[in-house]
Amino acid sequence: MTSSNIKEISDLSPDSGLAIINSKAPFSSNNGKDALDVALIFGSFEQKVSLFFQGDGVYQLIANQDGSLVSIKDYLKTFSAFEFYDIDDIYVCQQSLVNRQLDENFHINDVQVLPSSEFASALNCHKHVLRF
């Protein structure tokens, strides 16, 4: 937990748009891609959207994966376009990384790793939540 994280979260108003929770591994189901489609649409309509990665969903952020090896369109590449859709608030559950022995080696920048309580507070700042 860094002081910049504390500031960032308190900056979120209690009515901070839509939160999308990603809770599934990237290539085990369509959930990750379906969640991405929703995020990009909200972004293109200039609606505020934040992304939360929790449980097996944290695997979606791990670097050096290639879905094409298992004949799946590598939608993870599209994550690098988030900034063009003004999707700046991306949170990862630290405990989920620890439980899976994953390093904070992500394929996109500006991801905020948060302890469970801060992760929950950040989520609580959103008016609506969708979970995939």
Partner 1 sequence: MKTLAVVVTTPPYSHLTTSALTYVEAALVAGINVIGVFFYQDAAMHANKDISIASDEYQAIDHWQRLHKEYQLPLHICITAAEKRGIVCDSMGDVQVNKAFTVSGLGELVELTSKAARLVQF
45 binds partner 1 (CB under 8 A): yes
Query: What DSSP assignment string belongs to 46-91?
Result: T--EEEEE-GGGGGGGBSS--GGGGT---GGGGGGGGGGGT---EE
* HSE toward the beta carbon, residue 63, CA cutoff 13 A: 8
Tell me if residue 12 falls in helix, strand or coil.
coil
28 near partner 1 (CB under 8 A): no
72 binds partner 1 (CB under 8 A): no
Give me the residue label for tokens 């700046």: 88
25 forms part of the interface with partner 1 (CB under 8 A): no
One of 11, 13, 28, 41 touching partner 1 (CB under 8 A): 41
Give the residue, chosen from 8, 37, 74, 86, that forms a contact with partner 1 under the rule CB under 8 A: 37
| 34 makes contact with partner 1 (CB under 8 A) | yes
Instruction: Confirm or reject binding of residue 131 to partner 1 (CB under 8 A).
Output: yes
Nearer to partner 1 (CB atom), residue 98 or residue 129: 129
Structure token pair of residue 68: 């094409």
Which of 5, 25, 38, 72 forms a contact with partner 1 (CB under 8 A)?
38
